[in-house]
């Protein structure tokens, strides 16, 4: 939001809930965190949110079980950080830490994915199957005042008919852009896993995100969760041009998105 228009910037400055409270040390304006999976890059940041500002942590029971089984997450005290279970296809309303409704509804839905890789070969702490529905969520986020909504899907292994139907007609979708091609990490000598093995669809290819979402009516399409091995990150690359041609955006710091 750094490059917001002067009007919007003024509005942001006048919106106290978006800023640390003046004169209050170590205050954080973050009122809630929604975990869409239990992967290390989704949960490790919680360990930096331990300074006492209250917030609500929303997650599927499978992910809550991982946090519970890892005592290190006790740095988030029960007093300050309420853990709230969310369930697939059950919309819920976000609230500020004092209980005030935030005017935002969130609908979690299942997308193809996989369990956290640091649990591979181990039993899931919940005693359930190792990889199962609930490990990877997409979100539809709706402004209850205007009814406008957008989609957030940071990890998705496959775009099936159900997901296509859901996204068709959307105003805005943030979508998993981890890798350009499935074997990219292996080819670069950075790892031994394919994108699929990590639960991520590639951007390119016959079954990639660009092809799978090409025929849908989505006003704004923005990739996120882009790995630093993905050549589409490089301005001017052939891959970036292909992304541009397909009507997708690669976001940058300070980017402003208006619904």
**Beta carbons of 36 and 139 less than 8 angstroms apart:** yes
Q: Which stretch binds its own copies (CB under 8 A): 169-177, 189-197, 201-209, 240-248?
A: 189-197
Q: Which two tokens stand for residue 58?
A: 């929303």
User: Does 47 contact its own copies by CB under 8 A?
Assistant: yes
Kindly report the three-state secondary structure assignment for every residue of 33-101. EECCCCCHHHHHHHHHCCCCCCEEEEEEHHHHHHHHHCHHHHHCCCCCEEEEEECCCCCEEEECCCCCE
Rank residues 115 and 208 by Cβ distance to its own copies and give the closer one: 115
Tell which one of 8, 12, 13, 44 touches its own copies (CB under 8 A). Answer: 44
User: Does 191 contact its own copies by CB under 8 A?
Assistant: yes
Tell which one of 75, 88, 255, 258 touches its own copies (CB under 8 A). Answer: 75
CB of 120 to its own copies, least distance (A): 8
User: Does 118 contact its own copies by CB under 8 A?
Assistant: yes
User: Does 119 contact its own copies by CB under 8 A?
Assistant: yes
Instruction: Identify residues 123-142 at the interface with its own copies (CB under 8 A).
Output: 125
**Beta carbons of 33 and 41 less than 8 angstroms apart:** no
* Distance of alpha carbon 205 from alpha carbon 126, whole angstroms: 36
CB of 227 to its own copies, least distance (A): 11
Tell which one of 2, 48, 145, 253 touches its own copies (CB under 8 A). Answer: 48
* Distance of alpha carbon 257 from alpha carbon 239, whole angstroms: 23
CB of 252 to its own copies, least distance (A): 22
Rank residues 52 and 247 by Cβ distance to its own copies and give the closer one: 52
Q: Which residues, listed in sequence order, are joined to residue 107 by a DSSP beta bridge?
A: 140
CB of 242 to its own copies, least distance (A): 23
Tell which one of 190, 214, 257, 258 touches its own copies (CB under 8 A). Answer: 190
User: Does 187 contact its own copies by CB under 8 A?
Assistant: no
Closest among 109, 179, 105 to 143, alpha carbons compared: 105
User: Does 122 contact its own copies by CB under 8 A?
Assistant: yes
CB of 74 to its own copies, least distance (A): 4
**Beta carbons of 156 and 175 less than 8 angstroms apart:** yes
Q: Which stretch binds its own copies (CB under 8 A): 3-11, 37-45, 156-164, 235-243?
A: 37-45
Closest among 219, 215, 208 to 174, alpha carbons compared: 219
| DSSP label at residue 178 | -
* Distance of alpha carbon 180 from alpha carbon 231, whole angstroms: 7
Binding site for its own copies (CB under 8 A): 25-26, 40, 43-44, 47-48, 50-52, 66, 69-75, 117-119, 122, 125, 188-191
């Amino acid at each position: 939001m750094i490059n917001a228009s002067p009007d919007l910037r003024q509005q942001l400055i006048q919106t106290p809930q978006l800023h640390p409270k003046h004169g209050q040390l170590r205050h954080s304006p973050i009122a809630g965190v929604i975990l869409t999976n239990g992967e290390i890059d989704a949960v490790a940041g919680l360990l930096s949110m331990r300074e006492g500002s209250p917030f609500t942590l929303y997650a599927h029971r499978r992910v809550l079980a991982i946090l519970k089984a890892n005592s290190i997450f006790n740095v988030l005290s029960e007093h300050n950080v309420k853990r709230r279970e969310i369930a697939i296809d059950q919309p819920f309303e976000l609230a500020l830490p004092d209980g005030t409704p935030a005017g935002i509804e969130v609908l979690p839905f299942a997308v193809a994915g996989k369990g956290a890789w640091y649990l591979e070969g181990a039993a899931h702490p919940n005693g359930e199957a190792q990889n199962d529905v609930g490990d990877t969520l997409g979100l539809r986020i709706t402004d209850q005042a205007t009814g406008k909504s957008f989609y957030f899907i940071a990890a998705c292994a496959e775009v099936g008919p159900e997901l296509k139907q859901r996204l068709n007609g959307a105003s805005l979708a943030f979508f998993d852009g981890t890798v350009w091609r499935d074997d990219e990490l292996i080819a670069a000598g950075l790892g031994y896993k394919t994108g699929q093995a990590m639960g991520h669809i590639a951007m390119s290819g016959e079954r990639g995100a660009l092809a799978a979402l090409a025929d849908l009516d989505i006003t704004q399409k923005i990739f996120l969760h882009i790995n630093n091995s993905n050549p589409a990150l490089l301005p001017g690359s052939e891959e970036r041009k292909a992304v541009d041609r397909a009507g997708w955006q690669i976001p940058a710091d300070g980017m402003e998105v208006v619904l």
